């Protein structure tokens, strides 16, 4: 299944519009607490980046660096 450029562009645009609307909503009502949900975009992938062993189905520690390699 190939990913088209149009699909990626649409997802990027949706993500950008969502972040801009969240910042605008926080600024208009002078309440910046909801902006902390943006922290989840950083925290949610961390377990996979640090501990992701997708290539090893048995869970052994034979390739500890695979989480970093898979992340980019």
pLDDT in tens, the chain (72 residues): 678 999 999 999 999 999 899 899 999 999 988 888 888 888 888 888 887 755 555 555 555 555 555 555
- The per-residue pLDDT for 8 is 92
What pTM did the predictor assign? 0.54
Between the alpha carbon of residue 71 and those of residues 10, 18, 23, 62, the distances in Å are 23, 24, 28, 18
Q: How many helices (H) and strands (E) does the chain have?
A: 4, 0
Q: Are 41 and 22 in contact (CB under 8 A)?
A: no
């Amino acid at each position: 299944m190939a990913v088209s450029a149009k699909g990626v562009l649409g997802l990027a645009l949706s993500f950008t519009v969502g972040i801009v609307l969240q910042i605008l909503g926080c600024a208009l009502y002078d309440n910046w607490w909801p902006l902390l949900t943006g922290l989840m975009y950083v925290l949610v992938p961390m377990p996979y980046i640090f501990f992701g062993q997708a290539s090893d189905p048995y869970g052994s520690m034979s390739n500890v660096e695979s989480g970093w390699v898979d992340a980019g």
